[in-house]
Amino acid sequence: MNWAGIKFLVFLVALWGLSGCVTSKQQTENAQLLTPEHFKRTAIIEEGDSEATAIITTRNGFRRKQGLLHFVFDDNFLRAFIDKKTEEVTYQVYQSIYYQASDWRFYLKANYESSDGPESVVAKFVRAPLAHDLNCPDHTSSVCAYNEHVGFPVYRELLDSIVSTYDPSKSDEWKFRFIPRIGDDYHDGLLVAEIVGFLEAVDSYKETYL
């Protein structure tokens, strides 16, 4: 078996051991450990391509280890792009999606919950598909493992409205889904606690450095 085949087999083994539904015990543990303070403390501050922009992400706040081998496949986090001169902030949901298929699905649209009901927005590649985002066991296989990195913009008003629903005793999520050109929709969400801590990190950065 070649290296591509080995990687594909590892991917299948990991998927076979996926945890599936989150239990009530796990939800309680998440509420206790994944607090706004945790997400604020673990937020990453980076410089953009130019020093005029700061980027704050919750990438290290929580990563779902899946399957028997505890790999991180599907993952998401929030990003804020802060213009240091104007103090303008743009917000984005970043999502990594793994799937098995016979071709790229191209997730180009996102739907999410808002106080006014379901909203729809264009999703874009936040990282163009690379060679290692496609793993096939061999050249004759009709099914391969794909990985897409996509994102969609969100507004501060929406995030503030979600934050207003935060209950420390629960591990509620803000739900959204990505809609592909072909194939199945992808459903996911972010803990409300993560959004609370994220906004606190953004506001703290602005108060401290701008």
Tell me the pLDDT tens digit for each residue of 79-136.
999 999 999 999 999 999 999 999 999 999 999 999 999 999 999 999 888 877 888 8
pLDDT at 199 over 70: yes
Q: Which two tokens stand for residue 139?
A: 């050249």
**How much is the pLDDT for 20?**
40
23 CB-near residues (< 8 Å, 6+ apart): none
Decide if 105 contacts 146 (C-beta within 8 A).
Answer: yes
Q: Which residue has the higher pLDDT, 5 or 112?
A: 112
Decide if 125 contacts 149 (C-beta within 8 A).
Answer: yes
Q: 116-122, long-range: CB within 8 Å, 24+ apart, which pairs?
A: 121/152, 121/153, 122/152
Decide if 209 contacts 77 (C-beta within 8 A).
Answer: no
pLDDT digits 0-9 by tens, 160-191: 999 999 999 998 999 999 999 999 999 999 99
Q: For residue 25, what is the DSSP state?
A: H
Taking the C-alpha atoms of residue 180 and residue 40, their distance in angstroms, rounded to an integer, is 32
Q: DSSP string of 123-139?
A: -EEEE---GGGEE-SST
Q: Which two tokens stand for residue 163?
A: 């934050």
Taking the C-alpha atoms of residue 197 and residue 46, their distance in angstroms, rounded to an integer, is 17
pLDDT digits 0-9 by tens, 109-118: 999 999 999 9
Distance of CA 164 to the CA centre of its chain: 21
pLDDT digits 0-9 by tens, 41-68: 999 999 887 789 999 999 999 876 555 5
**How much is the pLDDT for 26?**
54
Q: Where are the domains of the chain?
A: 3-209
Tokens 């706004």 belong to 36
pLDDT at 4 over 60: no
As a whole number of Å, the end-to-end CA separation of the chain is 55
The C-alpha angle with vertex 77 and arms to 21 and 111, in degrees rounded to 5, equals: 75
Decide if 91 contacts 84 (C-beta within 8 A).
Answer: no
